[in-house]
């Protein structure tokens, strides 16, 4: 299929609401693909999507009990994510990871590194962080922090906006 001129500015936004391995993969495949083709890409991580950005090791962040509630139960970073379907207590996610490795498909961790190298802007939703009790130091480096107004101003200038 031919590639033709785009309408509007060559800019994409993706809201990453889901914290499932498979949906996170889809989001980063689209984001890195678009960035590689020259688009400006911004990913907004909100609700469960913030789990993708968590550091694997639990930093000794002192916070009140209420803020620890979700943190205890939610996965810490890409290696801990489950599948949206057929997760089977984590077996499905491990199977998916194994198959992708055998097939030489980039892992989520590699896609995230590529996204950073290609200049994809990763934004953590501050309101969701507040609700989930997540502190900036619990998330990976290189993030921006913003809310819905920032998302909307970027989406207004983009020609592709997805909610994943």
| Minimum distance, C-beta of residue 139 to its own copies, in the bound complex (Å) | 18
Which position among 40, 80, 105, 143 is part of the footprint of its own copies (CB under 8 A)?
105
61 binds its own copies (CB under 8 A): no
87 binds its own copies (CB under 8 A): no
Q: Are 27 and 163 in contact (CB under 8 A)?
A: no
| Closer of 36 and 79 to its own copies (Cβ) | 36
Site string for its own copies, 28-57 (x = CB under 8 A): -xx--xx--x-x------xxx---------
| Minimum distance, C-beta of residue 112 to its own copies, in the bound complex (Å) | 16
Residues in the chain: 164
Residues at the site binding its own copies, with contacts judged by CB under 8 A: 1-10, 15, 17, 19, 22-23, 25-26, 29-30, 33-34, 37, 39, 46-48, 66, 69-70, 73-74, 84-86, 95-96, 99-100, 102-103, 105, 127, 130-131, 133, 144, 146, 148-164
């Amino acid at each position: 299929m031919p590639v033709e001129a785009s309408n509007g500015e060559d800019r994409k936004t993706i809201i990453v609401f889901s914290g499932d391995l498979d949906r996170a993969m889809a989001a980063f495949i689209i984001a890195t693909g678009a960035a590689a083709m020259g688009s400006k890409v911004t990913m907004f991580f909100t609700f469960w999507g913030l789990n993708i950005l968590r550091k694997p090791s639990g930093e000794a962040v002192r916070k009140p009990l209420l803020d620890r509630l979700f943190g205890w139960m939610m996965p810490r970073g890409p290696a801990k994510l489950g599948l949206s379907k057929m997760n089977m207590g984590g077996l499905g996610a491990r199977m998916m990871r194994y198959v992708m490795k055998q097939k030489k498909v980039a892992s989520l961790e590699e896609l995230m590194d590529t996204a950073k190298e290609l200049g994809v802007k990763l934004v953590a939703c501050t309101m969701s962080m507040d609700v989930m009790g997540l502190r900036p130091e619990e998330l990976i480096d290189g993030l921006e922090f913003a809310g819905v107004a920032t998302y909307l101003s970027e989406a207004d200038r983009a020609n592709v906006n997805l909610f994943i």
